[in-house]
Structure 1
Amino acid sequence: MTHSIGRRALLAVAALAALTVASTSCTRPATEAAQGSGLIRISVGVDPSYAPIFLADAEGMFEDAGLDVQVMQTEGGAAGAQNVVAGTSELSGNADSTALTVMAANPSLRALGVFEDSDRYFQVALREGVEPKDIETMGVFPGIGLYFTDLYLRSLGRDPASVKLVNTSPPEQPALLARGDIDGFLSFDPWVEQAVETGGRVVATTGDFGARYSQWILASDSWLSANEDVAARVFDVIAEAAAITDADPERAAKAISDSIQMDPAEARRTVSQIDFGVRDFTDDDVARANQLVTFFRGQGKITGEVDTSRVLLSGWVTDHLNQPPA
């Protein structure tokens, strides 16, 4: 997804992540925009789930809003949130599962709101001839991959402990499936599409067993306290770009292709699997966040508690964006 297939294979592992539409518009007064903001660095991964940020950057939307924004591509996963903790970026986009694991060790992180959701971005691919009830081995990658695999197996009435889980990265999974080393895996494109091209098949998406993921915008509490209006102006632009992405996938696909050198057709297909739009956190988001924390604590990935009522800023989008979501 970046400068070559090889680099994409390294970087796409952490894409995750993942979106009910609630469009807003960046129309703050020109006098306010003209005041400037200083450099705002936004850390992102390198997959289509960051389409609104790629679009806003590619089309000069941040600049038009009087903002000096630098979009920083990372290897994804925890890297973006860790940049915020380290002070090497002011904001980051992270999947809910990743954000919570970093928040556990860094309780000063804050999630401002959601900019995308999906219950179909992650899909279950099985080897030809293997039925769900016959699964003996699943390839899994850490974090959300393990969590969704656990939910999927339980939805089949299977005890996850009865299935051999092989730690893999998403780029490895199609080849392992084709060789018969694993019976299936739960991942996202382009890896699922590659598995289908070599004889595998898709049997479910996360929505089929009641699972979904969201992408959040993160900031540190200290930076946000001193720059709340700037954060709102940046998020206003992301909201406008998210609405464009949802309404005009071809335009979004071009921005993705230009930003991470991804095939436009592949980008267009992937964008269709995600719902883009900025919104506040809901009770369901908080409940899902608590479930994730409980799961990762049980896996030894999180120690102690994560106060979701504190780190998820419920109502921040409505209170601070120029045009709050409906």
Structure 2
Amino acid sequence: MEFGRWRRGAAALGVLVALVSATAACTRPATQQATGSGPIRISVGVDPSYAPFFVAEQEGMFERAGLDVRVVQTEGGAASAQNVVAGTSELSGNADSTALTVMAANPSLRALGVYEESDRYFQVVVREGVEPNQIRTVGVFPGIGLYFTDLYLRSIGLDPAAVELVTTSPPDHPPLLGRGDIDAFVSFDPWVSQAVAGGGRVVATSGDFDARYTQWLVATDAWLSANEEVAAQVFDVLSEAAAIVDTDPDRAARAVAAAIQQDPAEARRTIDQIDFGVRDFTDEDIARANDLVTFFQEQDKIGGSVDTGQVLQRGWVDDHVLGAATPAQSPR
């Protein structure tokens, strides 16, 4: 789904953070190598929202920090966090909504901090000839897609219960919209751009209806307890890479293109819709996580509850990640 996830006016600060993080990361003892614990596998999805991981991998930043890291590409969604649960990866990058649904069944998972967020990445598209108040059928994908659709419909005075929800995957939305099988959908690029090219139009971004997402770095409690210094080293590198993405999006787009074989121009468009930067959890993050859990419970999408005060490791980034700072919340 998801995803600091600081704008041009803060470019100088971002570069400074990157330089401090790079220098500090090299001064940490190479705990992973000393303990012989083997490679650190980080599961991520295959879209530009994972740009910091791809930049760090493509530019050898993990190696320079003395880390043996393998970035493992998955189909995204819950698969990345499920790899951590299964022990086939030590860490994963996940959108808040996805991580929480997996945490409901696996309370030993821990979110270490935020590395990106956005209130522009998700957009509302309607088909030609339909006004927002005329929406009767909406294409949705599970998780945050359902949550944002619910928020949008309520924001324009429509009762979600009175609208037909067609559950499908994001790639299906543009053709469904083009054929008139659905009136609208809430999603992200490239599906938004494809739908617009077919005659649809964007009528809102998630920020217009007070919706945003964050992406978190996730581990198990057991692994984190035994490898806290290594986790800090990884997040140091991720902080440096996120600063690069934020201040030099063309450089980041080239890394994304090389990693997932995507057109650099398309990668750049997506990167511009996301705010990248490492930070700790805030009161707002905790409140949003609780809202997500409540929504998924009401929709019978998760069983049980999630103790957000436990699974979100508030204070961990501030205590362990060198150079981490809370970014300003402003668009590019």
Shift of 1:19: 3.3
SS at match of 1:62: helix
Give 5+ residue unaligned stretches, structure 1.
Answer: 1-15
Change over 3 Å in CA distance of 1:222–1:172 after alignment to 2: same
- Match of 1:80? 80
Aligned partners of 1:115 and 1:217 also within 8 Å: yes
Structure 1 partner of 2:92: 92
Identity %: 71
Residue type at the aligned position of 2:177: L
Q: Alpha-carbon deviations, 1:260-319, whole Å to 9, x = none?
A: 000100000000000000000000000000000000011111111100000000010000
Unaligned runs of 5+ residues in structure 2 are 7-13, 327-332
How far does residue 65 in structure 1 lie from its aligned partner after superposition?
0.4
Measure the CA separation in 2 of the matches of 1:284 and 1:175.
36
Instruction: Provide the residue aligned with 1:131 in structure 2.
Output: 131
Deviations 1:147-174 (A, max 9, x none): 0000000001111011111111110100
C-alpha distance in structure 1 between counterparts of 2:205 and 2:123, whole Å: 4
Bigger Cα displacement from structure 2, 112-121 vs 31-40: 31-40
Amino acid at match of 1:295: F
CA distance in 2, matches of 1:124, 1:35: 44
| Counterpart contact for 1:38–1:67, Cα < 8 Å | no
Alignment-derived partner of residue 288 in structure 2:
288
Tell me which moved more, 20-29 or 270-279.
20-29
1:179-215 deviations in whole A, cap 9, x for unaligned? 1111110000000000000100000000000000000
Counterpart of 1:5?
none
Aligned length: 311
Q: Aligned equivalents of 2:28 and 2:125: distance in 1?
A: 52
Q: CA RMSD in A?
A: 1.4
Q: 1:156 to 1:169 in 2, by over 3 A?
A: same
1:113-144, CA deviations, whole angstroms, 9 ceiling, x for partnerless residues?
00000001000000011111111111111111
- Residue 208 (structure 2) aligns with: 208
Per-residue deviation, 1:33: 3.3
- Report deviation, 1:35: 6.5
Q: Give the secondary-structure state (helix, strand or coil) at the position aligned to 2:165.
A: strand
Are the equivalent residues in 2 in contact too, given 1:232–1:321 (CA < 8 A)?
yes
Q: If the length of structure 2 is used for normalisation, what is the TM-score?
A: 0.91
- For residues 281 and 35 of structure 1, what CA distance do their matches in structure 2 show? 26
Determine whether 1:252 maps to 2:266.
Answer: no
The alpha-carbon distance between structure 1 residues 48 and 208, as it changes in their structure 2 partners (threshold 3 A), is same
Residue 286 of structure 2 contacts residue 308 of structure 2 at CA under 8 Å; is this kept in 1? yes
Q: What stretches of structure 1 move > 4 A for 4+ residues in a row?
A: none
Letter paired with 1:93: G
3-state SS of paired residue (1:276): strand
2-side partners of 1:20 and 1:199: how far apart?
29
Matched AA of 1:205: T
Q: What is aligned with 2:25?
A: 28
Q: Normalising by structure 1, report the TM-score.
A: 0.93
Name the aligned partner's letter for residue 56 of structure 1. Answer: A
